[in-house]
Amino acid sequence: MVQVDFDDFVRTHRERAVRLAWRLIGGDQAAAEDVAQDAFVRAYQGLGRFRGDAQLETWFHRILVRQAHNYRRWRALRRLWSADEEADQLADPRGRGPGDPALRRRLARALERLTRPQREVFVLVYMEGFTLREAAQVMGRAEGTLKSHLQRSLQALRKDLQDLAPEPEKPEEPNHV
């Protein structure tokens, strides 16, 4: 068994855990905090089973990604059975991201349309700064598989958001005097 100061681990990793959960579940701050807290609780309960084969942070992020997936699955089921649609809360917990609320909603919807593995690897690599190798460890998948998911997510997002791309600059025509 590996010795861990879990209180210190939570203090050190809480902010990133909430931010990652927020991005994985689609921008609901309160739910992101709940998902992160649930992941910390599950990690604490599972510390006796942590063998140290991976870094503690990687092991924890795997739990967090699984908790976010479970939250999304249950949220989808609740939406199917509920006449009340949840209101989207799109305030970024760290004040990052586009300032235009309509653009934030558009980006969130584009991420929603990705498959679960595509969304997870995109968030881990491009939004949270994980390396592909770290993302593979967190997700428990082969790097090659994640490269494929990452490529597909980029293609889908480019297609979905192509109208947001700036117009290419046209070269100025020479003046013929």
104: CATH: 1.20.140.160
Q: What is the DSSP letter of 14?
A: H
N-terminal to C-terminal alpha carbon distance within the chain: 82
Domain residues for the domain of 90 are 6-163
pTM: 0.56
Q: Is residue 170 part of a domain?
A: no
Q: What is the pLDDT of residue 93?
A: 43
Q: What is the pLDDT of residue 90?
A: 40
Q: Is residue 171 part of a domain?
A: no
Torsion of Cα atoms, 74 then 80 then 83 then 85, to 10°: 60
Residues lower than pLDDT 70 in the chain = 1-4, 76-100, 165-177
Q: Is residue 176 part of a domain?
A: no
The tally of CA atoms less than 13 A away on the side-chain side of residue 161 is: 21
Q: Is residue 168 part of a domain?
A: no
Q: Is residue 29 part of a domain?
A: yes
Q: What is the 3-state composition of the chain as percent helix, strand, coil, each rounded to the nearest 5?
A: 70, 0, 30
Instruction: Count up the domains in the chain and report the number.
Output: 1
Q: What is the pLDDT of residue 36?
A: 95
Q: What is the pLDDT of residue 10?
A: 93
- The residue type of 90 is L
- pLDDT tens across 73-93, in order? 777 656 644 433 333 444 444
Q: What is the pLDDT of residue 171?
A: 57
Q: What is the pLDDT of residue 17?
A: 95
